Each structure stands twice: as structure tokens, then as C-alpha cells.
Amino acid sequence: MPGFEVFGKEEQQAINDLFEANGGILFAHGFDAMRKGVYRVREFEAAFAKRMGTGYAQAVSSGSTALKVGLKALGVHKGDEVITQSFTFVATVEAILEVGATPVIVDIDETLNMCPVSLEKTITEKTRAVIPVHMMGSPAAMDEIMAVAKKYNLSVLEDTAQGCGGTYKGKTLGTIGHAGAFSLDAGKTIQTGEGGMVITSREDIYTRARAYHDHGHEYSKSMGRGEEGALLTGFNYRMTELQGAIGLVQLSKLDMILDNQRKNKAKMMQGLGQLPFGFRKELDPAGELGDTIVFFLDSKEQAGEFVSKMKAAGLGTKNLPDAIRWHFARHWGHMFMEHGFYADTWQQEWQKSADLLERAVALPVMVNMTDERIEEVTRKILEVAEKVK
Ligand SMILES: Cc1ncc(COP(=O)(O)O)c(C=O)c1O
């Protein structure tokens, strides 16, 4: 997830250009007489929607708020249940709590994404929406998830924070469900420091997302912001023009980023493919972002030994296992105790997920890897594997 790797002169120039063009209006709305027709957030939204191949994009302040705005736009209310997966960043579950709904967390399978069988088993008459997460650049089982959602009349919000630009059977991630939520934080495929995007092909969903992210504003064409009415009760999750200007530059680099990652991953796999371990199940290898390689050791202890030997060789991992506590529900006792769900059971829940995640090692694949670096990393990992087996 390396927008930060290809970040510098062009983004800086875009900020300078913004000041040249409109004198430094950083608010995305109003100031019409002063801003000389310059609206970078609006341009970024239009370009993002076009690149993803959908009708509408609403820029917001983060990936976390994109999830919240998406849930609100899909009509999720207090008392509804929203199903998501045990392996995700904690924000997915926080967003469900933020809209007053109850999170229901289901197991993952060998894809490390939502298990569609667990999803169907968990549906109740209160279930309103599902949030599958395309973790670490790999598409979730969207055919099966959409079929279950259709059967039970549920809304689907794809958490595409870690899946920007990926595809599943030719469809861009984030466009398969009713809406998609993206993160543009500093660690993501493209980044604006902080930022997010909600996309949808449905005008009604977009209209609610736009209103909710901006205090309910109805975005009247005939009235100014001060006079127009409110469509609903909202809040402030707006993006600034600085992020819009940077986002446009980063978006123009997305295809290069994906291309490099995919090539680098393929080169690493030429060597790592010989490892005697199981690899993460990929449902659509061509649609992967190519930013992660995940394999499974035989036990938690063996994975721990593997990672400490990797560390000694100067190599790091990506989320598994280094940041597992932020990405696996078994570690979220603080939230379960405070909000009273899974309060007595969380330490025993999601055994299937634990069995997979605790044995997993995830390697980052970067955009700017030279062939020498790829060769070096691959060789060192094979050496570690020799010692551990
Ligand atoms: C799967 C997932 N969802 C949501 C988020 C939240 O995004 P942000 O950091 O932009 O709030 C993240 C960020 O790491 C994420 O990985």
C-alpha cells in the first residue's frame, strides 16, 4: 500500500498550482467569487468515479468516515445489525457502532476475507447490511456475498480501503456492492495524508452520502449554501482542497503503482513459490493489487520463530503478525466490554480465523523495488525457511 513511495515533487507542485490558481481557497465549497472556478475536490471526485467506472464519488475526511457515511447513505439505523469479518482494521467495526447499529462479526476463510457460509448462517431478521473487506489487496468472494445479500435483501458496502484499483472478475472493487468505501490515509495505495471516498452507481445513495458528510446540505443549484435546506441530520466529514489537489496527482499514478506491484510480486513469487508452505487463496489473481504475499506456517509457534528470524535478517512483515491486534477481532476486548456485544465470549469467538491468522506471515511488496532488492529479499526468506522447517 505504498502511495507514500511515489509522493513528492508532483504533489508539491499541485499545491503550489492551487495557490496560484485561486489564491489559496482551501474550503471545497462556496467562496465562488474568489476561487476563480477552481474546485479541486470536485475534480478529484469526478476523476475517481471515472477511474473506478461508476457514476458517483463523494470525497470525505478518512476511510473510517467513508464507512460511516456509506452506512448512513445505505439507510442503516440504530438497532440494525451489520455483518462484517473478523479480519479487518478496527475502523470497520467502529463505523458500525458510530451509526448506532450492532456489529456482527463472522469468520474469514483461506482467502483471509469474509467466509460466505459464515455470513449466511449469521443473518437474522435485524440484519440490514454487510461489509465485506478486501483485505491486503485481495478481492473477497463477491459473487457468493452478493448472492446471499440478494436472497435476504441486504445492502452491501465494500470496505475497499485496502483494495483501491483491484478487480474481481473484471469488475472494479467498490463497484460490485451498493457502495464502496476507500481510505486515502498515508499507508494506502494512493494517499492524501488523510482522506476517503464513497462511491456508488446509485444517485439516491450518493445524494444521501453527500448530504450526510456535510451537515445535511442539499446542494441546491439555485441557492447559496447559507440559504439552502437540509436533507437530513449530518455532520462534517468534508475533504479540503489540499487533499483534492494531491488526490488528483496520486490517482494519475494509480495504474503505474498497480503495475509495478504486480510485476514485483510475480518476481518474488518465482522464488517464494517453492516454499513448502500453503499460500493465501486468491480468488482472482489478475485482480489482486499485488502489494502482499501471505503464507501459512504449521503453527503459531513456528510463525513466531519465522518472523523473529526474518527480523534478525532485517526483514519486516505487513500487519500479520506485527499489527494483528488492530486487525483481528479477538484483540478488541476494549470495544466489546464498552459496548456490550460479545462481552462474555470474544476470547472464544472466531476460532477458524484465529487458526489461520496466527499461523500467517504477510510480506509487503513495494512499488519501488529494484531487481537486486527483490532477489535479496527472496533469498533471505528462503534462507529463513530452510532454518525453520
Ligand atoms: C480495512 C480498512 N478499513 C478502514 C480503514 C480506515 O481508514 P482511515 O485510516 O483512512 O480512517 C482502514 C485503514 O487502515 C483499513 O485498512
DSSP string, 92-117: HHHHHHHTTPEEEEE-B-TTSSB-HH
Q: What is the CA(356)–ligand 1 centre distance, in A?
A: 22
Q: Is the CB of 159 under 6 A from ligand 1?
A: yes
Total domain count, the chain: 2
Answer yes or no: is the C-beta of 92 below 6 A from any ligand 1 atom.
yes
Range of the domain at 51: 3-251
Of the residues 203, 231, 251, the one at which a domain ends: 251
Same domain, 196 and 297: no
Residue 76 has a pLDDT of 98
* C-alpha of residue 248 to centroid of ligand 1, in Å: 20
* 39 and 74 inside one domain: yes
Last residue of one domain, picked from the residues 221, 251, 281:
251
Same domain, residue pair 296 and 314: yes
- Ligand 1 centroid, distance to 208 Cα (angstroms): 22
CA of 2 relative to ligand 1 center, distance in Å: 14
Mean pLDDT of 112-141: 98
User: What whole-number distance in Å separates Cα of residue 195 and Cα of residue 224?
Assistant: 26
145-198: pLDDT as tens digits: 999 999 999 999 999 999 999 999 999 999 999 999 999 999 999 999 999 999
Give dist(CA 265, CA 263) in Å, integer. Answer: 5
Residue pair 242/236 in contact by the 8 Å Cβ criterion: no
Average pLDDT, the chain: 97
Q: Give the Cα-Cα-Cα angle 289, 292, 294 (nearest 5 degrees).
A: 130
CB atoms within 10 A of CB 270: 11
Going from the Cα of 64 to the center of ligand 1, the distance in angstroms, rounded, reads 6
54 lines ligand 1 (CB under 6 A): no
Q: What's the confidence (pLDDT) of residue 290? A: 98
- Same domain, yes or no: 295 and 310: yes
Q: Does the CB atom of residue 3 touch ligand 1 within 6 A?
A: no
My answer on whether 162 and 311 are in the same domain is no
Based on the domain organization, do 215 and 259 belong to the same domain? no
What are the grid coordinates assigned to 184, written together? Answer: 486515502
Q: Dihedral through CA 144, CA 150, CA 153, CA 154, nearest 10?
A: 40
- CA distance readout (Å), 48 to 76, 243, 244, 251: 25, 13, 11, 7
> Do 182 and 294 belong to one domain?
no
Cα–Cα distance measured from residue 385 to residue 389, given in angstroms and rounded to the nearest whole number: 6
Confirm if 128 and 100 have CB atoms less than 8 A apart.
no
Q: Which grid cell sits at 375? A: 532477489
Q: Over the stretch 2-20, which tens digit does the pLDDT of each residue have?
A: 778 999 999 999 999 999 9
Q: Residue 373's domain is classified under what CATH number? A: 3.90.1150.10
Q: What's the rounded Cα separation, in Å, for the pair 93 and 104?
A: 9
Residue the block writes with cell 509495478: 260
Q: Could you tell me if the CB of 89 is within 6 A of ligand 1?
A: yes
Query: Of 236, 251, 266, which closes a domain?
Result: 251
Distance CA 69, CA 354 (A): 30
Mean pLDDT of 104-126: 98
Whether residue 259 has pLDDT greater than 90 = yes
CATH number assigned to the domain comprising residue 18: 3.40.640.10
Predicted confidence (pLDDT) per residue in 67-85, tens digit: 999 999 999 999 999 999 9
Does 117 lie in the same domain as 171? yes
133 CB under 6 A from ligand 1?
yes
Q: Give the rounded distance of the alpha carbon of 132 from its chain centre.
A: 10
Q: Does the beta carbon of 196 lie inside 6 Å of ligand 1? A: yes
**What pLDDT score was predicted for residue 1?**
59
309 and 238 in a single domain? The answer is: no
CA of 28 to the centre of ligand 1 (A): 23
Average pLDDT of 309-336?
96
244 and 271 assigned to the same domain:
no
CA distance 211 to 205: 10
Give the rounded distance of the alpha carbon of 293 from its chain centre. Answer: 17
Atom 14 in ligand 1: residue holding the nearest Cα: 89
Above 70 in pLDDT, residue 283?
Answer: yes
Ligand 1 centroid to Cα of residue 91, in Å, is 6
The DSSP letter of residue 242 is H
Say if pTM beats, i.e. exceeds, 0.95. yes
Grid coordinates representing 194 are 488523510
Q: Which residue has the cell 449530518?
A: 234
Q: Is the pLDDT of residue 248 over 90?
A: yes
Give me the phi and psi of 73, to 5 degrees please. Answer: -65, -30
